[in-house]
Structure 1
Amino acid sequence: MQIGKAIRLERIFNRNTMRTIIVPMDHGVTVGPIAGLEKMRDTVTNLVAGGANAGLVHKGQVKLGHRMQGHDFGCIVHLSGGTCLSPYPNVKRLVTTVEEAIRLGADGVSVHVNLGDETEGQMLTDLGRVSASAEEWGMPLLAMIYARGPKVRNEFDADVVAHCARVGSELGADVVKVNYTGDAESFARVVECAGVPVVIAGGAKLDSTRDFLDMVRTSLDAGGSGLSVGRNVFQHRDPTRLVEVLNRIVHENASVDEAIQGYSDIL
């Protein structure tokens, strides 16, 4: 691995555990300033205070500051965009470049691909081109790969998720972000087939914080490398304390019961 890429990855992954807590905050382009993202500077401050490893944002939000309060907070610049107002909401197109992300001081870049969409070919082409550019510059690449299209019956099916993860790694991603399959046994196969670190998405806001923590714990038990979760973190009533609990699970390898000791009020 290039030394530049290795250095940047250590700003995203804990160098001792080789796991990560990433909080995506790119939702403003897709669905607008939803709850938890109205005041981005406050959101970032709360996440940094809790000890999140990295945040994922669009280029215009980098200026809000990703290293605050004396803590390192990795910055991943999202290169893909598309809105829910479009007649084709699953289409994601490149809205910036690896080179611009470098100028912004990014530690990594990310690309979103929806397999099964009618424009899948263009999104895969974009991923391949970004991968080549990221490799040239020593920039870590996170690929968010989901199955969303007319032929997709269940985007959480283990075979479908394994296919998503494999597409990301085959096309050069250093880390892939996919849906959690629902149990450790099936997700272990996803991780094994990927061949690169796999982090789980959070999906829609869950009703139960305990269910969310259990999902994170079982994904780690299956060999996952952490999480890249937005709404289930920044929309929590106390994001800072939730991230503190996630640190216990992800980086201290605590069980959920151990992790919530002294934090039962967040459930």
Structure 2
Amino acid sequence: MVPPITFNSAWGAKMDDLDDLEDFDRPDRLPNLDHWKSVMEFSIEQAALLLAMIDPFDCDNLHLAKVKKLARWKKAHGHALGIISAIRQGLISPVACKGWIEEETSNSYGNPSMERFLRVTRPTDRETEICISNTIITRASLLAWIESERVQVTRPPKPIIKNIPVRTTAVVLAPAPNQSAPLSLPSYTHSSEGLDLVQDAIKHFWATYDHEDVSTAPPKEDILKFLTSRGASGRMSEAVDLILRPFNLRTAHLRNRKVPTREDE
């Protein structure tokens, strides 16, 4: 299956990427035609030159390409004839079709003569010769004709990719010497009902305590009431409060005031 033809690949390939290839040694380097990518309409002559990868800015007509004996000038002439045939058969619809018409005129002495005039003509009119420099076609119709008729256009050569053998080396790693497992530090844990009450009191009262502001310490009465509601006896509630309350707060005689607790938040 022939891949679709695009001007990016056939007309706009950059040859700079192929200059460093050892096997890319051609007497004629294909030109860079990127500046034609934005052009949407061409004359038949321009399209034929571009399909043969001849820049119309370097050689503006087919006759000059033949005179200079440029590479692929025969291909360019062949593409021009092919485009004219496609226009005649309705495969390419020109934007403007102009042709040469011969008309009989008379000179100053009254002698008849034939002269050629450029006129707008119908693509199917076989009496006129389509002018390749003044007949305009679109990029889209040209590409559609190339793809449908599988026209062989000049393409940049594909880069030659050489298969470089890869050497692999197997490395055998020596087993690591036996190392003794690190000694774990002893862990002391214990739990009881009293310790659970201590944690509850810390969570609900002392979590909001600021050491630099003694007024944020929770009142003893609130802690005793909370612990009693959790099932603690009076002596255990007193012991828990005694353990949690810093020494400087035990004799500070703080006023019995409500302070913010975690439950209030």
Say whether the fold is shared (TM-score over 0.5).
no
TM range (shorter): under 0.3
Higher relative contact order (CA 8 A, sep 6+): 1
TM-score normalized by the length of structure 1: 0.20
TM-score normalized by the length of structure 2: 0.20
More helix by percentage = 1
More strand by percentage = 1
